[in-house]
Every structure is written in C-alpha cells, then in structure tokens.
C-alpha cells in the first residue's frame, strides 16, 4: 500500500503543475511583491508548490514561513519544503500577501497563538490572505470569516457555516482581500485570483495604528 501511495503522489504533483501551467492568461508582472506561504509538517504538496512556483515565475519574492525553521514533509507524498523563517521572525508589514495551503498542516497551525496572531495582523493591515482546501481553518480561528463569502474543501463546510461565513461551493471566492478556494483542481483560478489581488490592492500604510480585536481559538 505504501508503494501504491508513493506512485500516486509522484504522478499527482506533476499533473497538478501541468494543469496550472496549461491555463493561458495575460502575463502578470508581480515584481516588487512579497508573499509569505504559511505551512508546517503535513502540508499538501501541490497546494504549496504550485502557488509558490506560479508567484516566483511572475517575479514575486516568496518566503516560506512556519512555526519553526527547517524541513517539513507533505502528508500526501515524500515532497519536502524548507521553512525559511519562523513566524516569530516576520511581520505582516514585510509582505503584500499570505498564502495558506491545505493538507493536515492547518489543523496544527490554528492551535499556535503566534501563528493565529500573525494571520490576524495581515488582515488588520489590509493585506491579501489566500487559503485553499483546509487552509481557511486558520482564517476561521483568526476571526476573519464571519460575515464573509468563503469556500473550502467540503469537509470544512459546516465549520465555515457555524462561524458565520456565507459558504459557496465554487472554485474560488474573493471577498475584499480574503481569497478562499476548495481543492487542488481549483489551483489555476486560485493562483490567478491571488495575482489579480496583488496588482489591485493597496495595503494600509505601515505606520497606521492597529486595532487588535480579541480572537477566539475555539474554531469560530
């Protein structure tokens, strides 16, 4: 069974990358844009690597962040990614956007107060926050989705509804600076929406005072 799982993973990731590359679109220059990708052990390989490479190919500076620096492994393959900076080493002011891939990682990330606070700080500074699959779970814990249109993998539909989100089963939703998506097959639209938001959105001035709301950590 282990061999079969490895073979599936080896074929699945290249297929996702071909799928994402096969969607033609106008060239988007993201030079000068800085994006953080938030993961930990158990991330989804395609939902991490495909957006990362998409952004890099268009000139964005991408930094992989997580609870601690070091090498982490995907839950669905033997793909590894290096976490370059810990959440304690970065701030929302350094980036234009935050991407939260799915997999098993979001369930762990949402339990770490420093991670949740960092995600919330991106919202307070009006930065783009994009999450796919189980990634919106971290947005929920940070208190970002109440009253917002959102989507995600079917397994978190009830959680999104319970926390006051307007759930819609569509490939991608952008509500202001918040972007959510469902599954790996939606990556082309997810990536394109991130790029569009990065071009359009003017972030809040960095010296503007932040109003820090209280956050619930019970999943709502």
Q: Which of 44, 134, 215, 217 is catalytic?
A: 134
CB 98 within 8 A of CB 124: no
* 187-200 helix and 2-21 helix, angle to the nearest 10 degrees: 50
Q: Catalytic site residue 134?
A: yes
How many other C-beta atoms can be found within 10 angstroms of the C-beta atom of residue 70?
A: 12
Single out the residue of 130, 138, 135 nearest to residue 217, CA to CA: 138
Write the secondary structure of the chain as one string of H (helix), E (strand) and C (coil).
CHHHHHHHHHHHHHHHHHHHHCCCCCCCCCCCCEEEEECCCCECHHHHHHHHHHHHHCCCEEEEEECCCEEEECCCCCCEEEECEEHHHCCHHHCCEEEECCECHHHHHCCCHHHHHHHHHHHHCCCEEEEECCCHHHHHHCCCCCCCEECCCHHHHHHHHHCCCEECCCCEEEECCEEEECCHHHHHHHHHHHHHHHHHCCCCCCCCCCCCCCCCCCCC
Positions marked active-site: 134
């Amino acid at each position: 069974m282990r061999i079969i799982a490895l073979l599936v993973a080896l074929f699945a990731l290249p297929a996702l990358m071909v799928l994402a590359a096969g969607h033609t679109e106008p060239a988007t220059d993201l030079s000068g844009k800085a994006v953080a990708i938030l993961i930990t052990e158990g991330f989804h390989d395609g939902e991490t690597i495909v957006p990362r490479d998409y952004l890099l190919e268009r000139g964005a500076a991408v930094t992989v962040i997580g609870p601690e620096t070091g090498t982490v492994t995907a839950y669905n393959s033997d793909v590894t990614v290096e976490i370059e900076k810990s959440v304690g080493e970065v701030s929302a002011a350094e980036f234009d956007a935050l991407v939260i891939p799915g997999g098993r990682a979001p369930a762990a990330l949402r339990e770490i107060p420093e991670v949740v606070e960092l995600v919330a700080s991106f919202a307070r500074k009006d930065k783009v926050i994009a999450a796919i699959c189980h990634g919106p779970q971290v947005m929920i814990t940070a208190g970002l989705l109440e009253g917002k249109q959102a989507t995600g993998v079917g397994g978190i539909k009830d959680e999104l509804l319970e926390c006051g989100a307007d759930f819609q089963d569509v490939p991608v939703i952008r509500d202001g600076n918040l972007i959510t998506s469902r599954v790996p097959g939606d990556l082309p639209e997810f990536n394109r929406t991130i790029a569009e938001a990065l071009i359009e959105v003017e972030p809040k001035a960095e010296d503007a005072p932040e109003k820090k709301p209280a956050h619930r950590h019970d999943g709502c």
